[in-house]
Structure formats: structure tokens, C-alpha cells
Structure 1
Amino acid sequence: MKTHILITGASRGIGAAIAASFDPAITKVDALSSKDGDLNDPAVPARLWDSAFEALNGRIDVLINNAGVFEENPISRPDDEWLASWNRTMQINLTASADLCRRAVRHWQASGASGRIVNIASRAAHRGDSPTHWHYAASKAGMVAMTKTIARAYAREGIYAFAICPGFTMTGMAEEYLESRGGDKLLADIPLGKVADPEEVAIMAKFCALDAPPSMTGAVLDVNGASYVR
């Protein structure tokens, strides 16, 4: 029986690499992207879940929350603009993921099936981020805490949760950020001397989705070239 996998944010970068890593002979993947709906709209996660549930024949075994935004939000902005940006990042990066996690847990509880959640967080969850990215760091820290909570709450029911925390990864967002802040200086902060490739994150996501032992539930895995060692 194939493993049915739902991935968000799969149009490019890490999400696309994760989707491509699965063998279609043993998995069936519904890879969602922004064209399927704007996660800034609180009504969209439910619609995406229902659509994926139908596309995957009424069974989802693995949820991979990868969709996210990384947008600057200087504290000097007018109050209403700063708050709107904060709320947008929280809604897309954390609340939408929480909504999908909730639906996944309830699905597995109702069916009595085991299931896995893989949340793509960030090094920023532990290390923090730039002065213009308070909201991003907070959203990813929330994702890590949520993952640990799910793991602790539902392990006995065969529901497992993992978080992956990349540092800079060579995606469109990271390339723009590196260029805007002097890539050489930022690379000097990475002992490995390079940012991660999306395929490296995909290897870890695939492992968590399919092969990680149950006792690993709640694990938070780093992919940052030793730029932040916990």
C-alpha cells in the first residue's frame, strides 16, 4: 500500500525538492503550492486539506508543512503596517500549519491509523534572526514548540511529529537575502562554507516521513552547516 503524503509550499525550493525525493512506486504525493490557495486566508487550510483528502483517496498518512514567507518588517514601520506584516507571517508560517496539523491528528484519531507530521522550521527558531525578522523567528520557534507538543501528546496513538531547522538554504528567498546583506560575510558565519542545498533538507524530510523510528518522535533536526550548534 502506498504512503499518501501531503506537502505544502511545493512549487519551488525545499518543497519542490521534498516532493521530488519520493518514489512514486511507493508513495502518492499531493504537492500544494501558492496557486492552490493563499494561506494568509484563514479559510484556505481547511479547503486545502479537503482537496488533498479527496485527491489522496480519503487517506493522508504524512503531512509535511513547508509553506512559509520570509519578509522584512522593520520596527520603524507605521504601527498598522508593522502589525499587519506580523500577523501575515504568523498566519502563513504558524497558524496555517497548526490548522493542518490539527486536521491531520483528528483524521488519524478517527481512523485509528498511525501518522506522521514533518514541520519545516528554521535555525531562527533557536538562534533568532535579523532585526527586521522578529516575526519570522517567532513563527518558527512556535512551530518547533508545536511539534514537540504534538509528539508528546499523541505518541501513544502512533502519531509522530518531527521538525527540521534549516539555516540558509539555496532557494529564491535565501538568494535574495544573501545578496542584500553581503553574501561573503554571511557565508563566513557558516563553518561548512556554503549554504544548504534544498536536496539536503529533502533527504531529512523524507527520512522523517518514511523511515525515522517511532522513538525519534519529537526530534528537532538541524541543517545549518554548523552555523548554530545546540
Structure 2
Amino acid sequence: MTILLTGSSRGIGAATFHALTQAGATVVGHGTASGIPADFADPAAPRALWDAAIERAGGTIDVLVNNAGIFEANPIDRDDGDWLADWDRTMQVNLTASAALCRFAVLHWQRRGVGGRIVNIASRAAYRGDSPAHWHYAASKAGMVAMTKTIARGYARENILAFAICPGFTMTGMAEDYLASRGGDKLLADIPLGKVADPAEVASVARYCALDAPASMTGAVIDVNGASYVR
């Protein structure tokens, strides 16, 4: 079982890398010292990453886990050009690059005549929104969820499965910065569990979706947010 995992250098990605390798999978990482470098702000990066991963994997990738993403404030009172540039950057990194990799994966499995799995790491922001400075982040993650459902419905008969995971706050670098800037106590009070998730908790769900989830679960969106948002 060979898995391409994006954003594997820290946080949820690093924990997922560990969980998958511990389960016996061969993981091609992205962004780590031993992984394949790719800057998803560059529209050409997903293709370069996919081709390099296929070569490293010996021609076959069985699972794609899209985890790479950015979380950068973009207040609406900024200059028009700056606001739009940062909107486009977040969409490119969080959604468009993931979409490109999903496309390459689906085409790869169709050519081989075998199934495969996609696991997209989205966010609870896809459903409940985010701060006024993060319209773009919430929109990118909502797009990821909709894309996942579309892939699941479109290719299930070919045994191409797709799952989305929607974490709430997770103790990564992005969440730590956000908690500090927005007042940690107030935000924690919004989580009935009383704590943010550990990356290993999200990674355990990603591992399950990538390796063990039954085929009938395709299209599922799994929340990991301490009941801070329930659907």
C-alpha cells in the first residue's frame, strides 16, 4: 500500500505520516526533509509533485491524502488588490492544488483499472464558517468537502472512494497562533470537550479512512471537533 501524503512536515500531517507508517503503509511525504518539495502557491507544483511521487513509488499510488494547507488572516479592509491576491493564494494552496492531485489520482486509477482512496483534510469551517478575517479559508474548505462528495458519487462504481475529515481546532502551529491572537480561553469555552484536538486524534481518523474504512462509507465527512460544531 503506497500513499501520497501532502503537508507531512508538521502537525496533522506529521502525525498522519507516523500513523500510516506504523500501520505498515509506504508513505511518500511532501514538505519533509526526506519528502518531495512542492510549493502549492505555484500552479505547476501539483503536477510536479504527482510525477515525482509516482516515480518514487515505482509507478503506483494507492491512496492520496490531501493535508497541506495555509491559514492566513485577510481582513476585508485591506487594499482591494492585496485582499484578492490573498484570497487567490489560499484557494490555490488549499483547494485548487488538492483538486489537481485528486484529478491525477482518479485518472491514474482509471488507467490502471483498479480502485483507490482519497482522504481530504478539510475543516469544521466548511460548515460553521470562520472569523471575519478568514472568509477565504472557510470557502476553500467548503469547496474541499463538496469536491470530496462529488468524487465519491462520481466514481464509486470504479471502487474509487473519497472521504473528508473536518477537524476543529487542533494543536498545530496554525491553531496555536490563532488561539493566541483570538483569546484562547474564550475559544476553548466554545468546545464542550474543553480542549483542542491532538494531531494524533485526527491522524487516527485519517489512517482509518485511508486503510480500513468500508467501501460503503465513501462520501462520508467525519467531524473531529470536540462537539464545537455538530451537524
Relative to the length of structure 1, the TM-score reads 0.98
- 2:21 aligns to what SS in structure 1? coil
Q: CA offsets per residue over residues 7-60 of structure 1, 9 Å max, x none?
A: 000000000000000236731110101770210100000000000001111000
- 2:75 aligns to what SS in structure 1? coil
Which residues of structure 1 form unaligned runs of 5+? none
Count of equivalent residues: 228
Q: Does the Cα contact within 8 Å between 2:15 and 2:200 map onto a contact in 1?
A: yes
Identity of aligned residues (%): 72
Q: Does the Cα contact within 8 Å between 2:21 and 2:27 map onto a contact in 1?
A: no
After superposition, the CA RMSD in angstroms is 1.0
Residue 153 of structure 2 aligns with an amino acid whose one-letter code is R
Residue 29 (structure 1) aligns with: 27
Q: Does the Cα contact within 8 Å between 2:15 and 2:199 map onto a contact in 1?
A: yes
Q: Does 2:166 correspond to 1:165?
A: yes
Residue 9 (structure 2) aligns with: 11
Cα 1:25–1:83, aligned 2, differ >3 Å: closer, same or farther?
Answer: closer
Whole-Å Cα distance in 1 between the matches of residues 163 and 23 of structure 2?
A: 24
Whole-Å Cα distance in 2 between the matches of residues 22 and 155 of structure 1?
A: 23
List structure 1 segments (4+ residues) > 4 angstroms apart after TM superposition: none
Which residues of structure 2 form unaligned runs of 5+? none
1:66-85 matched pairs, under 5 angstroms: 66-85=67-86
Q: Does 2:87 correspond to 1:86?
A: yes
Q: Does the Cα contact within 8 Å between 2:171 and 2:196 map onto a contact in 1?
A: yes
Q: CA offsets per residue over residues 97-154 of structure 1, 9 Å max, x none?
A: 0000000000000000110000000000000000000000000000000000000000
Q: Does 2:190 correspond to 1:192?
A: no
- 1:227 aligns to what SS in structure 2? coil
Residue 10 of structure 1 aligns with an amino acid whose one-letter code is S
Residue 176 (structure 1) aligns with: 177
Q: CA offsets per residue over residues 152-173 of structure 1, 9 Å max, x none?
A: 0000000000000000000001
